[in-house]
């Protein structure tokens, strides 16, 4: 198989999948004299949008093909043509240490899902313990919360089947260059995702589609002998010396185990506290705090794609921006949700947390993104391992009070934020946050280093995306859960200072986002497989 890169196709020549393939085949004929009838296999490896020139937006492809005369093509040393590398997942060799009990996976977010899936596929029959509910029940409770504003532990969108990523854009981008990413993408496609996520540059699934995919993965795990148990909140660990012996569920049920993979998510604060109190080594970690900012999606499309913004095969435009302030702080956009919605993501009573979500079509009126400023351990003013968690909580509780309770969110228009004034009315951009909002002055809420850095960043980003600082763009707070405020230490074997306890994913501070968390879950499962023989 050979890979050919830098194939540039006009937008009008890729309006449908058939036309797209025909245009690529014509390119291969024109440039390399490869005849359509000689192509035995054809697959797109990568597809990206090149919008650097707003008057000439194009698609750029890499494709893998097999033809009878591959060696001849390789020998000609054409630019952008090479042997396609092996991108298949290679299973690790199984160890021989016996397991007395089935492995336990704590949490059914990305790291938990993929560690459990790999263990199940290799015959280990894992038991998954998820504190939340299945995706259908959690969705129903979430809809009830939006109507009533009454907090319920199981109504939070941060816990339950699929984890916090279930109510997000389903972004599958990662900066990690790891072949395990292909394993994750192929599993998602097998269970219902569109095959385009295998090759588009910034793949996403969308909350509406992701829910079904997660249920299908759960079904595979159970069909292979694993179990996924909901409403199973791990409340303690039984430790003998430095070895894990059992986990305690819902304060009463003891489940003996040799090992537990700890994929608890970035908001399991009660379990963070339990881990600390039981002697598991935890370290402070930097994270970020800020707001969600909303613009008209039409504005973002026009800024990014120019005169091509209405081309149907481009979809909703996104952006990723960063800024370094003279004060030494960094600001950046994160988890940008084209055509999306700002969500209430409180996981504790009397606190306000915002997050973003998009559905698969990304067809909402607004674009939103987290607009964040780096927060460092020295800002916590304490050396306590959980100081960052307390720091987050203080912001969230202050936001709840500032907005007047009822899980309404503090809100300010960009013009008023820049002028240090309280907003008085909504403009052309309608807020998507439910269950409501209260106009505030973020100057009285954020410390100076956050407020000033946000101010500078908005002006800087307006030079990069025309209209970013539009008067009636909306800022909704507080966004405080972009990553975990702790790191659970682990050694080269993947274990914490307690043998048998394998921290993983975003909550443990070893990943960020769906893909990197899933990959980390696979890595931890591989370490288990290398050490232990599967259950008999």
How do residues 425-462 score in pLDDT, each as one tens digit?
999 999 999 989 999 999 999 999 999 999 999 999 99
Cα-flanking dihedrals φ and ψ of residue 387, to 5°? Answer: -60, -35
**pLDDT(170) > 80:** no
Do 434 and 464 form a contact (C-beta atoms < 8 A)? no
Q: Strand, helix or coil at 210?
A: helix
The torsion angles phi and psi of 461, rounded to 5 degrees, stand at: -70, -25
Rounded average pLDDT over 31-54: 95
What pLDDT band is residue 143 in, cutting at 50, 70 and 90? confident
Say whether 511 sits in a helix, a strand or coil. Answer: coil
Distance, CA of 219 to chain centre: 22
Task: Return the structure tokens found at 94.
Answer: 């199984």
Q: Which residues are within 8 A (CB) of 313 and not within 5 positions of it... i.e. 6 or more apart?
A: 11, 14, 15
In the chain, % of residues over pLDDT 90: 88
Cis before residue 435, ω within 30 degrees of 0? Answer: yes
pLDDT surpasses 90 at 536 = no
Q: Is the pLDDT of residue 106 over 80?
A: yes
In the chain, ranges of CATH 3.50.50.60 domains? 104-282+488-531
Average pLDDT value over all residues in the chain: 94
pLDDT of residue 77: 93
Q: Give me the percent of the chain exceeding a pLDDT of 70.
A: 99
Please give the CATH topology (third level) of the domain spanning 104-282+488-531.
Answer: FAD/NAD(P)-binding domain (3.50.50)
Over residues 277-326, the pLDDT tens digits come to: 999 999 999 999 999 999 999 999 999 999 999 999 999 999 999 999 99
Which element (helix H / strand E) includes 128?
Answer: strand 127-129
Between residues 157 and 388, the one the model is more confident about: 388
- List the structure tokens of 148: 């009533």
The Cα–Cα gap between 42 and 46 comes to: 12
Q: What is the predicted pLDDT for the residue at 147?
A: 82
Question: Which residues are CB-contacts of 75 (< 8 A; sequence separation ≥ 6)?
Answer: none
- Residue 174 confidence (pLDDT): 66
pLDDT per position as a tens digit, 335-345: 999 999 999 99
Helix ranges restricted to H, 109-153: 110-121, 135-148
Query: Which residue do the tokens 């909901």 mark?
Result: 230
Express each pLDDT in 468-516 by its tens digit: 999 999 999 999 999 999 999 999 999 999 999 999 999 999 998 899 9
Residue linked to tokens 């699934």: 205
Q: What is the bridge-based pairing of β-strands 2-10 and 81-83?
A: antiparallel
- Cα dihedral angle (39, 43, 49, 52), rounded to 10 degrees? -50
Q: What is the pLDDT of residue 145?
A: 86
Residue 235 CB contacts under 8 Å (≥ 6 apart), including other chains = 248, 249, 250, 251, 270, 271, 274
Start-to-end CA span in the chain (Å) = 40
What secondary structure letter does DSSP report for 334? E
Q: Is residue 524 within 8 Å of residue 507, measured between CB atoms? A: no
pLDDT at 146 over 90: no
pLDDT at 440: 97
Q: pLDDT tens, 206-217?
A: 888 999 999 999
At residue 169, the pLDDT reads 65
CA distances to 48, 303, 352 from 474, rounded to whole Å, are 30, 18, 17
pLDDT at 450: 97
pLDDT at 155 (0 to 100)? 78
- b/e per residue 340-365 (b: at least 16 CB within 10 A): bbbbbbbbbeebbbbbbbbbbebebe
Q: At what angle do helices 207-223 and 110-121 cross, to 10 degrees?
A: 30
Residues of the chain with CATH 3.30.70.2700: 2-78
Any bridge partners for residue 41, and if so which? 66
Overall average pLDDT of the 346-368 stretch: 94
Of the candidate ranges 135-139, 172-176, 264-268, 386-390, the one whose mean pLDDT is the lowest:
172-176
Architecture of domain 2-78: 2-Layer Sandwich (3.30)
pLDDT at residue 175 tops 80: no
- In order of 16, 223, 392, the CA distances from 442 in angstroms are 46, 51, 16
């Amino acid at each position: 198989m050979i890979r050919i890169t830098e194939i540039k196709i006009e937008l009008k020549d890729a309006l449908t999948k058939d036309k797209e393939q025909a245009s690529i085949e014509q390119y291969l004929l024109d440039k390399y004299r490869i005849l359509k009838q000689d192509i035995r296999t054809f697959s797109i490896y990568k597809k990206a949008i090149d919008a650097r020139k707003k008057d000439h937006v194009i698609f750029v492809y890499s494709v893998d093909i097999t033809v009878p005369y591959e060696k001849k093509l390789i020998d000609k040393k054409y630019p952008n043509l090479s042997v396609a590398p092996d991108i298949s997942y290679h299973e690790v060799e199984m160890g021989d240490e016996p397991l007395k009990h089935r492995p336990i996976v704590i949490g059914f977010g990305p790291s938990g899902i993929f560690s459990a899936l790999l263990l199940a596929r290799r015959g280990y029959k894992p038991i998954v313990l998820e504190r939340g509910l299945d995706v259908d029940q959690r969705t129903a409770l979430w809809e009830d919360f939006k109507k009533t504003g009454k907090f319920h532990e199981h109504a939070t969108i941060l816990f339950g089947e699929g984890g916090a990523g279930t109510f997000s854009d389903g972004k599958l981008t990662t900066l990690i260059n790891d072949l395990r990413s292909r394993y994750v993408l192929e599993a998602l496609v097998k269970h219902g995702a569109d095959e385009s996520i295998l090759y588009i540059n910034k793949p996403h699934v969308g909350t509406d589609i992701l829910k079904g995919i997660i249920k299908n993965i759960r079904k595979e795990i159970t069909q292979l002998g694993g179990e996924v148990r909901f409403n199973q909140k791990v409340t303690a660990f039984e430790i003998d010396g430095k070895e894990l012996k059992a986990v305690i569920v819902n304060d009463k049920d003891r489940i003996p185990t040799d090992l537990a993979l700890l994929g608890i998510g970035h908001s399991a604060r009660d379990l963070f506290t339990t881990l600390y109190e039981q002697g598991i080594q935890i370290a402070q970690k930097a994270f970020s705090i800020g707001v969600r900012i909303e613009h008209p999606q039409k504005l973002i499309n026009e800024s990014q794609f120019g005169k091509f913004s209405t081309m149907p095969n481009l979809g909703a435009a996104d952006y990723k921006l960063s800024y370094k302030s003279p004060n030494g702080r960094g600001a950046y956009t994160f988890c940008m949700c084209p055509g999306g919605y700002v969500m209430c993501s409180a996981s504790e009573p009397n606190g306000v947390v915002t997050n973003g979500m998009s559905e698969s079509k990304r067809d909402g009126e607004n674009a939103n993104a987290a607009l964040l400023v780096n927060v460092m351990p020295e800002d916590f003013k304490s050396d306590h391992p959980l100081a960052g968690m307390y720091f987050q909580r203080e912001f969230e509780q202050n936001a709840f009070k500032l907005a007047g309770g009822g899980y309404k969110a503090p809100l300010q228009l960009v013009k008023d934020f820049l002028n240090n004034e309280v907003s008085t009315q909504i403009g052309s951009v309608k807020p998507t946050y439910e269950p409501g909002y209260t106009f505030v002055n973020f100057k009285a809420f954020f410390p100076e280093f956050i407020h000033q850095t946000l101010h500078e960043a908005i002006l800087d980003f307006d030079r990069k995306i025309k209209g970013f600082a539009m008067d009636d763009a909306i800022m909704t707070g507080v966004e405080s859960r972009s990553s975990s405020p702790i790191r659970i230490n682990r050694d080269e074997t993947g274990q914490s200072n307690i043998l048998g306890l394998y921290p993983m994913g975003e909550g443990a501070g070893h990943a960020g986002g769906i893909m990197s968390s899933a990959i980390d879950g696979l890595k931890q499962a591989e370490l288990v497989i290398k050490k232990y023989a599967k259950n008999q």
